[in-house]
Amino acid sequence: MTTAIAAKSQVRTAMNPRRYLGDSWRHPITRAVVKAFLTIWVTTTLTFLLIRLMPGSPVELKIDELIQTSNGSLSYEEAKAIASSLFAINLNAPIHEQYLSFIWNLLHLDIGSSFLSSGTSVTSIILSVLPWTLFSVGTGLLLSFVVGIGLGLLAAYRRDSLLDRVVSTGGSLVSSIPNYLIALMMILFLGVQTHIINFTSMRGAYTPGMQPGFTLAFIGDLFYHASLPITIYFLTQIGHWILSMRSATLSALEEDYVTAARARGLSDGRIRTAYVGRNAVLPLVTQLAISVGFIVGGAAIIEQIFAYQGVGLRLLAAVTQRDYPVIQGIVMLTTIAVVVANLAADLLYSKLDPRIGRAGGAAG
């Protein structure tokens, strides 16, 4: 009887295949990549369904419009064929076939062409505007992240001082006012009433006629035009970073490894960066990823107010012109851009925090 027990225990500890598969699945990087693809797939399907299945679907509207403009010379079938090429899907086929061909085209980056300037592909339209939004949002966000972390750290180190109160209350109040209202107020007070800033000269992403290239003048001009949107994106998130960093630093300061580091005579500078700073900033990296989606989403109104040719402005134009392939394209590509940013933040986080990077560890 005892030998049976011994044999059984051997088997249990032998290598069990599921465990190996289990390990790779749990690894944070694989999970982040899968999550990214899942998001993209959900968005594409969502927009696909939106365009087709909603009552008074834009596809039907387009077909009627085609028939009317051709005052009857086009039959329903012909109009449908044109519409289907515009939408990059074959309308006759049943829904699931349409969906499959839609996805197939998407994989070849062919997402139909614009209604208005038929012939110019949606991708080319988007690629001409998306970089400006990513540039302005990216700069504004990174600036607010870096400045916010600095101020948050400072406010925590000087807890309950005047500086702490001003920075935290001020930050949270600025970030609670909707950013488009701040934009309007900037135009009102700095432009119209006092002419401090000449808004008209800042319209558009860069001064027309400038020779695009990596010259200092051109880059300077880019920043000149994008300065207002960047300021707004900066103000939108700055309060959030200050408050999160302040509370993360306060809890890090109470940790035992900070007292232990002081007991070992480490310099304040070293403790502030490698011990308090690095641990406090960890949770903020994941929040950075989430805030990208929010800011990009809100860019549309900021770009409209400042007449800055980003993807948001182009989306609004497409909406008013009911140019559905462009709407569909913008929604998908912006989501992909945001998802890629999130993936980068997830990977950065698993590298920064070893407890997640190396699943398992020696102690078992």
Partner 1 sequence: MTTAILARPTFGQRLLGMWLSAGGFLRLLSQRPVGLLGFIGIVFFLLLAFVAPLFVPFQNDPSLVDIYQTPSAAHPLGTDFQGKDVLNQIVFGGRDILTVAILAALVSTAIAITFGSIAAVVGGKVDSTILAITDVVLTLPKLILLIAVAAILRPTGFLFLAVLLGALQWSSLLRQIRSQVLSLKERDYVEAARSLDLGIVHIVFREILPTMRSYIAIHFIFAMTEAMYAQVFIVILGLVPVSGSNWGIMLYFAQGQGALYFRDSIWYILSPILAISLVQLSLVSFASALEDIFNPRLRGSA
Partner 2 sequence: MNALIELDHVSRTFTTPAGVITAVDSVSLALGQGEAMCLVGESGCGKTTTGRLLTGLLRPSGGRLLYEGKDVWLTKGADLARFRRAVQLVHQDPYASLNPTRTVFQTLSAPLFRHKKASSQRQALSAVTELLQRVDLSPPENFIAKYPHQLSGGQRQRVAIARALTVDPKVIVADEAVSMVDVSIRISLLNLLLALAKEFGVTIVLITHDLAVARYFAARGRIGVMYLGRMVELADTEALVTDPAHPYSAALIAAIPEADPDITRSKTRVELRSAEIPSLLRLPPGCSFHPRCPLAEAGLCDVLVPELLPIPGSREVACHVAVRERTGQRAAVTV
Partner 3 sequence: MPVLSVRDLSIDYITRKGPVHAVRDVSFELEKSETLAIIGESGSGKTTLAVGLIRLSPRGTKVTKGEILYTKDGLTTDVRKLDDDDLREYRWAEAAMVFQAALNSFNPVITIWEQFLDTARAHGMKDRQKVRDRADELLDLVHLDAKRVLPAFPHELSGGMKQRVLIALSLMLEPQLVILDEPTTALDILTQRSIIDLLKQLRERLGFSMIFISHDLSIAAELADRMITMYAGRVVEEANVEDMFYRPRHPYSVGLLRAVPRVSGALGNVASIPGSPPDLMRLPVGCSYAPRCPYAIDACRAADPPLVPVDTPKHEAACIRWKHVAEVLGSNAEVPVAEKLA
Site string for partner 3, 345-364 (x = CB under 8 A): -------xxxx--x--xxx-
Q: Which parts of this chain interact with partner 1 (CB under 8 A)?
A: 35, 38-39, 42-43, 46-47, 50-51, 54, 58, 169, 172-173, 176-178, 180-181, 184-185, 187-188, 192-193, 243, 247, 251, 289-290, 293-294, 296-298, 300-301, 304, 312, 315-316, 319, 322, 327-328, 330-331, 334-335, 338-339, 342
Structure tokens at 294: 């929010």
Cα–Cα distances (Å) from 68 to 35, 88, 111, in that order, read 45, 22, 26
106, 325 in Cβ contact below 8 A? Answer: no
Residue whose CB is less far from partner 2, 23 or 97: 23
Residue 296 binding: pick among partner 3, partner 1, partner 2, none (C-beta 5-8 Å cut-off by kind): partner 1
Kindly tell me which of 186 and 281 has the beta carbon lying closer to partner 1: 186
Taking each helix axis from N to C end, the angle separating 278-305 and 122-157, rounded to the nearest 10 degrees, works out to 130
Judged by DSSP in three states, 192 sits in: helix
Spatial distance between the Cα atoms of 65 and 54, rounded to a whole number of angstroms? 18
CA distance 141 to 229: 11
Question: Per CB under 8 A, does 108 bind partner 3?
Answer: no
In the list partner 1, partner 2, partner 3, none, the entry touching 192 (Cβ below 5 to 8 angstroms by class) is partner 1
DSSP 262-274: HHTT--HHHIIII
The answer to whether residue 193 forms part of the interface with partner 2 (CB under 8 A) is: no
How far is residue 316's CA from residue 304's CA, in Å, rounded to a whole number? Answer: 8
Q: Binding mask 147-186 vs partner 3 (x if CB under 8 A, - otherwise)?
A: ------------x---------------------------
Type of residue numbered 74: L
Query: Which of partner 3, partner 2, partner 1, none does 2 bind, CB closer than 5 to 8 A by kind?
Result: partner 2
Choosing from 19, 96, 195, 264, the residue that interacts with partner 2 (CB under 8 A) is 19
Q: Are 315 and 299 in contact (CB under 8 A)?
A: no
Q: Which is nearer to partner 2, 18 or 108 (CB)?
A: 18
**Per rule CB under 8 A, is residue 359 in the interface with partner 2?**
yes
217 Cβ contact list (under 8 Å, min separation 6): 210
Closest separation between CB of residue 254 and partner 2, Å?
17
* Dihedral Cα 270, 272, 274, 280, nearest 10 deg: 180
Q: Is 353 helix (H, G, I), strand (E, B) or coil?
A: coil
Residues at the contact surface with partner 3, assessed by CB under 8 A: 159, 255-257, 259-267, 270, 274-275, 278-279, 282, 352-355, 358, 361-363
